Amino acid sequence: MQPSPPTRIVRKTTTELVLDAMRGRILSGEFAPGSALRQELLAEELGVSRIPVREALRLLSAEGLVDTIAHKGAFVSMLSKSEVQEFFDIRKRLEPWIIREAIPNISEADLQRAEQLVREMDSTDPGRWGALNWELHESLYRAAQRPAALGMVRALHEKSERYFRFQVVNVPIRQQAHREHMELIALCRAGQADKAEAMLEQHIGDAAEQILAIVDRLLGGAAAAAD
């Protein structure tokens, strides 16, 4: 029997460490929405050169957490309560219908893939949670064979992804999402379309309330910092 190869220790790069630190401060509200992110000050504070800070800002911009304005610099992205409310209002009307349409055609392979994604979501970082959340929902919705509706829902999830990052740093919220996702999968497996539809509508409504409360708090902190 061959001995198992030694596990390699993978060390994070300076850019990854800076990215983690800055993302954490944005998600916690320490860096308030609309606040300026000065490369030279961040580099000095974090004890690094400006190069990893600049790269981290680029990556945070791709995540929707930072806005870069030509000739002005980088700023923490502003949040919008009305935007969140509209995204989730549409989801509440569209996704329960899709899950009802999907349930008669969902395969066991679809359900097992969904369960695997729930487990991955338990341990992933906030930057990946939203993408995995969409993969989970897509694995259940695809069987509805409604490609136009699925495309609309995908776009809504992509537009909402930056808000999910604020939501999932909260451990109890993650635990609630785990329970609700597993319950939804169980209802799909049992073919209980009425209960799955109602449960999904409640799940989306709860997520909207949680995110709106977080946005309220962060915007309140930004207003206080501006006074």
Name the nearest CA neighbour of 139 among 164, 106, 183: 106
Q: What is the DSSP letter of 142?
A: G
pLDDT digits (tens, 9 = 90+) for 175-189: 999 999 999 999 999
Question: For residue 171, with 0-12 CB atoms within 10 Å meaning exposed, 13-18 middle and 19 or more buried, which class applies?
Answer: exposed
Question: For residue 139, with 0-12 CB atoms within 10 Å meaning exposed, 13-18 middle and 19 or more buried, which class applies?
Answer: buried
The answer to the question of residue 55 being in a domain is yes
Which segments of the chain have a pLDDT < 50? 1, 9
Domain that residue 191 falls in: 81-225
Q: Are residues 90 and 167 in the same domain?
A: yes
Residue after which a domain boundary falls, among 23, 58, 76: 76
Provide φ and ψ at 116, rounded to 5°.
Answer: -60, -40
Q: Are residues 148 and 117 in the same domain?
A: yes
Residue after which a domain boundary falls, among 59, 76, 93: 76
pLDDT at 1: 45
Q: Are residues 142 and 40 in the same domain?
A: no
Q: State the Rg of the chain over Cα.
A: 20
Q: Are residues 66 and 89 in the same domain?
A: no
How many of the other CB atoms lie within 10 Å of CB of 225?
13
pLDDT at 125: 80
Which CATH number characterizes residue 123's domain?
A: 1.20.120.530
**End-to-end distance of the chain based on CA atoms, in angstroms?**
69
Model pTM?
0.74
Q: Are residues 151 and 212 in the same domain?
A: yes
pLDDT at 124: 86
Q: Are residues 137 and 155 in the same domain?
A: yes
